[in-house]
Structure 1
Amino acid sequence: MLLRGTLAVAVVVGLATAGPLRAEGPWTLLGDHGLTAGLAGPRGAGVSFVGVSVDGRTLAAVTASGKAWESSDQGASWRAVEAIDATTLLHPERAEAAPPGVPDALTIRHPYRAGWLYALADDLYRSEDDGATWVGLTDEAALPMIGATPSAIAFDPADPERIFVATEAGLWRSADAGLTWVGLNATLPNFPAGLFRPLDDGAPPLLEIEGLGPALLPGGAPRWILAAQPSPAAPADARTAFEVFLAGGAVGGSGRAGSEEAVTALAVSGGPEPLQFVGMRDGRVWISADAGASWRPAGEGLPRDGRSVVDLWADPGASLAAIAVFAGPSGGRVFRTVDGGRLWDDLTADLPAGEIRAATASADGEAVYAAGDDGVFFASASLRSPTPATSWQAVGDELPVAAPRDLFVNSRTGQLYVSLEGYGVYRRRAPDVLRSLRLLNAADLSDRPVAPGGLLTVVGAAVGTATIDGAPAPVLFASPEESQIQAPFDAAAGRAATVRLSTSEGVETLRFPVQSLAPAIFTTDGEPLVVDAGTGRLLDLTRPARPGSRVLILSAGLGAVNPTWPAGVAAPTENPPAVVAAVSAFLDGVPLEVVGASLAGGYVGAYWVEAQLPSSLRGGLGRLEIEAGGRRSNTVQLFLAP
């Protein structure tokens, strides 16, 4: 990302940058406990019960997962409890009346409004005349605004207009007896469980939520947003509909819930000859080398005691490595193969007792992570050879106590993600980052080439001095976790440059490609750093780009400038040097008028590309790119106002 030393300039243009990658620190919640899904407020997972105490001071709820919660401030905050004390709650009377065509509705009498009834069915209905007439309260344009199938309703003795309803989409409150609603799900720890689907741009991974589909966390968004359509980068979870065949005959079930032959885990490796690994409820693991045309059983080393396979991870960069996790609070639970599943060895060692529910590994094959009921753990273990693993270590102790659903490590950015049932997604720096030195293009933390004058992020070391092909490369920022250096403007292009880094561990030599032009758009967490040229405000979900406006795209890799400028020096804010190459910009593939391109005043190693947006925009998300010298940049998503 951009240099910490340049952040003062951001104030001038109103741009808030992310600074360098965060150092190793505590787990951080991404978003909140709710999910934007087109309802009256953020939704959650299902809530099965809601009640209010007789004195009106306590709001109680039980989630569909069985966890009990209480609130003393109308749902602004919650505390977990072992169980709800039903003797303290108000219990409204049931009534026999029901709306026409809804004979199975659960009808509740309002305890403080004579003649008022509420019927709970697929939607919520209200009658003000003891059931003679009814009005639907939540069915709006065929989409229930608080989610379908309300299961419980509660009334506040302090305010007859205030009611609470539990639905399959969480917990909801109305201050006008059901005419309008607000969600209480942003604060109630009841986030829908999801599995990670990695994206290619260094952003937080997409979250595939069971029964709902993919969700994204765009920059500037306070919470995860349910995508309208599945992403090609996130194939539907195959765990519930997958058949395993061997010699033309089915040896596994079709994924029916509860079946001993149901598929419980699935992973696909990368490499030139990818393998499919499938885990079963009965503990068997099957492997296919021909996209499922034929299958072979896993080889020696795995448990044979019938325990379920709860998770599988396969190396996206090499076809032979995989991790399998088996159910059980003790004994062998985490297993490794480095030869395509023919032999497995037990990595459990001193892993603390307790169920392990998810595992992942770094793509360089030097670290394995396991998440269980007692937290997330890390061990150094090769996935290229069956060498012994090191002792397991806890990865922080700040996570709430909850069952993990999935783990994901972005080996490029060094971020570790865990999906916790009820609580949502947490992120922190992966411990193995500190052990492996790597170079990244600082614009988007990718391995795309850098241009002369461009920025490189060094992950894993504090750099004292640096050279690129023997020429000094200014060190602009240094910490034990990462550093940033700038390639000289006269660096030789067209080949992999030799980068020599002086660190506390000695001199490290790495290679990184340099091109004369390597356009890229700066991103933070996958979101572009693009500002409105008129207001200087960063464009995001809350401030979309306006039709007819001009935008400034913070860019990298645009090469030579006129007049020439030295590396390591911030560009002037007045009359900054202009880019020599012709620069183009595109929105959804349509060329934009480029007003100008120059070094970004006050920044080191960055450029502004100013582009004119058309007078009409379709609204939503647009695909933004720049181009120089026939080379396209990374594609970023820009929020557009209609």
Structure 2
Amino acid sequence: MQVKWSHRMGRNATVRALLTALAVGGTIWAQTPDWRRVGSLVLDGGLASPSSGAVQRVWYTAEGALRIQAVSGAVFETADFETWKWIAAARVPAAALEVETGPANARVSRPAEAGSPIRYAIGSSVYRSPDEGRSWTDVTLAGGQSILGSPLIDLAVSPLDPEDVAVASGSGIWRSLDGGLSWAGLNEGLPNFPARRILSLSPVRVELAGGEAIWRPGQKTAWTPVAAEFSGRERALRSSLARQAGVAEFTAAAATGDFAYGGGADGRLWASPDRGGSWRTFPVTGGGSVEAVFVSPADPRAAVAVLSGAAEGRGPRVVRTANGGLFWDDITANLPPGAAHGVTADIASGTIYVATDGGVFSTTADLARFAPPSSWTKLAGDLPDARAFDVRLDEGGNQLFALFEGFGVYATLAPHRQIDPRVVNALDHSTRAAAPGSLLSLLGARASSARVGSFDAPVLAASGTESQIQVPFEVEGSSVALDVRTATGARSFVLPLQPVSPSIFLDRDGSPMILDADRGVLLDGSTPARAGSRIQILATGLGRVSPAWPTGLPAPAANPPKAVAPVRVFLDKTPIEVSRATLAPGYIGFYLVEAQIPDVVNPGPAELYIEAENQKSAAVSVTLVQ
């Protein structure tokens, strides 16, 4: 996002333009879940272009369009070589590569053009011959490996041009228009992202075949591959618990406190109440393989397991225990046929979410006792029609994340918040204490009016699923009651209160709202903060201001009130100069903190946070350049 700015506009106009731009994207959720994609569909694998998952077949149509078959079996076509569409019931032609001796025993492809002497071959690299195979040139080798990834799986030549060649590899699909002299990936926009599980959410981290990838706030183009640290720990947990239980292998495992759970490929569930010292077993007949186990962090006697289903995805696929694994009851109920792959739950509301072959479904069930669940409902919204591999809730149970085969990660406000609203910090959705003048979000309800303590509190914005409220500047004490009136009646919340409780404004993807004060652009991984530049940080929770300012009134454009509490900014835990901390001109509840980046910096990502009266905001990442 770029906000045009000039010295003539001034800093106030910069903030106004930024917040106006953010309002267009909005953080107000519709009744139907407002899903957004997290990250892209490609990886930064250090190849010729961003990569994706393995492609097992590639061919050209007679008209020159390109088709590929992903490992999932799905067939996609591109005619403009930029956008892909799914082809239902597509016929996959027989492999065109000839098994004949090429360079390094590579397989050879002949152009469709009659009499053409050109040959192509794939093995450990891609080769081209201009003379019917008498001589060969390696056209993808660099640094000892192919720039198209490995393994190289299939190759096709356009029937319209013998110089137009495409290669399928374990890292996606690639095309050359000049006979292999240069290559470009066609993976961006192709629903072939190779993630199978969500490993963590801050930042979002997914499991790939043989590795992991993360999407940091502010990233714009491709996921960053990283070592298999989280999945390695999970494999070690499964192995350790299986060994303690005296079985060869657990296909899924989880542990919280003294309780540990495991499941096997035969549908048998294992539970230990004493960290693996003793085990109890329970067979799930007809359930297939245990795919995942969720354990309640509040009461580890409560757990939910999901299974693949023994025959055509039928049979028990969701089971729960409320007594530490002594008994598991089948709550599959009306869940459509198909394997269940992932599960998460919100204990307070009793909401269970499962990722299945048919998408993401939810139900409500009492996890503290055995009682019939409600019917399963498929989550609606703008989601791909694909298998869901995993589902997760963030730590506060406010955001729901789902992973779809090939299509990547999606996120939305957790639907159960509509039956169990929560009050969070409006800028970063944390549960930090409120402060005089700070902004709160009521997640899951439309507030028509609000009071904080004995003061009326302005409702600044409201929808069916979220309301924004400002805490009056006049409140005092260590806690305060928030009373709101909604369409379903009155609701009350008791909130911790502090003189200051700083937080930095994060957008829906977790990127901090930090601007370059001189250029008027939002800083992120592709637009770093320059050494010696001034930055502006949008925040809330900095407490009272001087001169005092009325609650619910936009701050003035000229001489906006200053934060009374001294505000400090830290960059990699080192304080930097703060030139001002005021209310954000023209807006309610926002503060504008301006700081100076040092003249000498270490290029790359740096940790930034603000502090007032020894209270720190959450740290955010800002990219620096000298």
- Output the aligned Cα RMSD: 2.8
Match of residue 268 from structure 1: 255
C-alpha change, 1:366 and 1:628, in structure 2 (3 Å) is same
Structure 1 contact 563–577 (Cα < 8 Å) conserved? yes
Structure 1 position 52 matched with structure 2 position 54 = no
Amino acid at match of 1:510: F
Residue number among 371, 374, 379 corresponding to 2:363 in the alignment: 379
DSSP 3-state at the match of 2:16: helix
1:268-307 to structure 2, matched below 5 A, reads: 268-269=255-256, 273-292=257-276, 294-299=277-282, 302-305=283-286, 307=288
Match of residue 505 from structure 1: 488
Amino acid at match of 2:199: R
Match of residue 152 from structure 2: 150
Match of residue 19 from structure 1: 26
Structure 1 contact 70–81 (Cα < 8 Å) conserved? no
Structure 2 contact 211–225 (Cα < 8 Å) conserved? no
Structure 1 position 33 matched with structure 2 position 16 = no
Structure 1 contact 309–327 (Cα < 8 Å) conserved? yes
The worse-fitting range, judged by mean Cα deviation, of 525-534 and 235-244 is: 235-244
Once the two structures are TM-superposed, the CA of residue 131 in structure 1 deviates from its matched residue by 5.4
C-alpha change, 1:250 and 1:515, in structure 2 (3 Å) is closer
C-alpha change, 1:428 and 1:442, in structure 2 (3 Å) is closer
Match of residue 3 from structure 1: none
C-alpha change, 1:9 and 1:418, in structure 2 (3 Å) is same
Match of residue 74 from structure 1: 81
Structure 2 contact 43–225 (Cα < 8 Å) conserved? no
How far apart, in 1, do the equivalents of 2:381 and 2:597 lie?
47
The worse-fitting range, judged by mean Cα deviation, of 535-544 and 524-533 is: 535-544
How far apart, in 1, do the equivalents of 2:176 and 2:216 lie?
28
DSSP 3-state at the match of 1:432: helix
1:29-428 to structure 2, matched below 5 A, reads: 29-53=37-61, 55-74=62-81, 76-86=83-93, 91=96, 95-98=100-103, 102=104, 104-110=105-111, 115-128=117-130, 134-142=136-144, 144-199=146-201, 205-216=204-215, 218-219=217-218, 221-222=220-221, 224-229=222-227, 234=230, 236=232, 238-239=234-235, 242-243=238-239, 251-253=246-248, 262-269=249-256, 273-292=257-276, 294-299=277-282, 302-305=283-286, 307-328=288-309, 329-396=313-380, 398-410=382-394, 412=396, 414-428=398-412
Match of residue 519 from structure 1: 502
How far apart, in 1, do the equivalents of 2:460 and 2:516 lie?
27
C-alpha change, 1:298 and 1:602, in structure 2 (3 Å) is farther
Structure 1 contact 245–295 (Cα < 8 Å) conserved? no
Match of residue 588 from structure 1: 572
How far apart, in 2, do the equivalents of 1:452 and 1:398 lie?
38
1:566-585 to structure 2, matched below 5 A, reads: 566-585=550-569
Structure 1 contact 92–110 (Cα < 8 Å) conserved? no
C-alpha change, 1:290 and 1:522, in structure 2 (3 Å) is farther
Structure 2 contact 111–159 (Cα < 8 Å) conserved? no
Match of residue 529 from structure 1: 513
Structure 2 contact 158–165 (Cα < 8 Å) conserved? yes
DSSP 3-state at the match of 2:521: coil
C-alpha change, 1:439 and 1:12, in structure 2 (3 Å) is closer
Unpaired segments ≥5 residues, structure 2: 1-11
C-alpha change, 1:64 and 1:332, in structure 2 (3 Å) is closer
Q: Write the deviation string for residues 45-67 of structure 1: whole angstroms up to 9, x where unpaired.
A: 111111113x3433221222332
Once the two structures are TM-superposed, the CA of residue 168 in structure 1 deviates from its matched residue by 0.3
Match of residue 447 from structure 2: 463
C-alpha change, 1:308 and 1:439, in structure 2 (3 Å) is same
Once the two structures are TM-superposed, the CA of residue 105 in structure 1 deviates from its matched residue by 2.5
Once the two structures are TM-superposed, the CA of residue 498 in structure 1 deviates from its matched residue by 1.3
Q: Write the deviation string for residues 122-177 of structure 1: whole angstroms up to 9, x where unpaired.
A: 33233445556554333333564321221111112323332110000011112222
Once the two structures are TM-superposed, the CA of residue 181 in structure 1 deviates from its matched residue by 2.0
Once the two structures are TM-superposed, the CA of residue 244 in structure 1 deviates from its matched residue by 5.0
Once the two structures are TM-superposed, the CA of residue 317 in structure 1 deviates from its matched residue by 3.6
Structure 2 contact 97–107 (Cα < 8 Å) conserved? no
Match of residue 257 from structure 1: none
Structure 2 contact 286–315 (Cα < 8 Å) conserved? no
Match of residue 492 from structure 1: 476
Once the two structures are TM-superposed, the CA of residue 268 in structure 1 deviates from its matched residue by 2.9
C-alpha change, 1:344 and 1:93, in structure 2 (3 Å) is closer
C-alpha change, 1:34 and 1:241, in structure 2 (3 Å) is same
For normalisation by structure 2, the TM-score amounts to: 0.89
How far apart, in 2, do the equivalents of 1:143 and 1:517 lie?
55
Match of residue 599 from structure 2: 615
Amino acid at match of 1:414: N
How far apart, in 2, do the equivalents of 1:508 and 1:241 lie?
43
Structure 2 contact 42–52 (Cα < 8 Å) conserved? yes
Structure 2 contact 273–324 (Cα < 8 Å) conserved? no
Once the two structures are TM-superposed, the CA of residue 394 in structure 1 deviates from its matched residue by 1.8
Structure 1 contact 70–80 (Cα < 8 Å) conserved? yes
DSSP 3-state at the match of 2:17: helix
1:597-616 to structure 2, matched below 5 A, reads: 597-616=581-600
How far apart, in 1, do the equivalents of 2:125 and 2:160 lie?
26
Structure 1 contact 362–411 (Cα < 8 Å) conserved? no
Match of residue 435 from structure 2: 451
C-alpha change, 1:321 and 1:138, in structure 2 (3 Å) is farther
Once the two structures are TM-superposed, the CA of residue 287 in structure 1 deviates from its matched residue by 2.6
Once the two structures are TM-superposed, the CA of residue 118 in structure 1 deviates from its matched residue by 3.1
Amino acid at match of 1:375: G
DSSP 3-state at the match of 1:35: coil
How far apart, in 2, do the equivalents of 1:439 and 1:397 lie?
24
How far apart, in 1, do the equivalents of 2:451 and 2:145 lie?
60
Q: Write the deviation string for residues 295-335 of structure 1: whole angstroms up to 9, x where unpaired.
A: 41245xx5145721122112234322211112222232211
Structure 1 contact 369–378 (Cα < 8 Å) conserved? yes
C-alpha change, 1:316 and 1:122, in structure 2 (3 Å) is farther
Once the two structures are TM-superposed, the CA of residue 79 in structure 1 deviates from its matched residue by 2.3
How far apart, in 2, do the equivalents of 1:397 and 1:565 lie?
41
Structure 1 contact 95–109 (Cα < 8 Å) conserved? no
C-alpha change, 1:398 and 1:503, in structure 2 (3 Å) is closer
How far apart, in 1, do the equivalents of 2:124 and 2:234 lie?
29
For normalisation by structure 1, the TM-score amounts to: 0.87
Unpaired segments ≥5 residues, structure 1: 1-5, 254-261
The worse-fitting range, judged by mean Cα deviation, of 236-245 and 41-50 is: 236-245
How far apart, in 1, do the equivalents of 2:131 and 2:422 lie?
72
How far apart, in 2, do the equivalents of 1:462 and 1:220 lie?
32
Identity of aligned residues (%): 36
How far apart, in 2, do the equivalents of 1:363 and 1:37 lie?
39
Match of residue 466 from structure 2: 482
Amino acid at match of 2:315: G
Once the two structures are TM-superposed, the CA of residue 512 in structure 1 deviates from its matched residue by 0.9
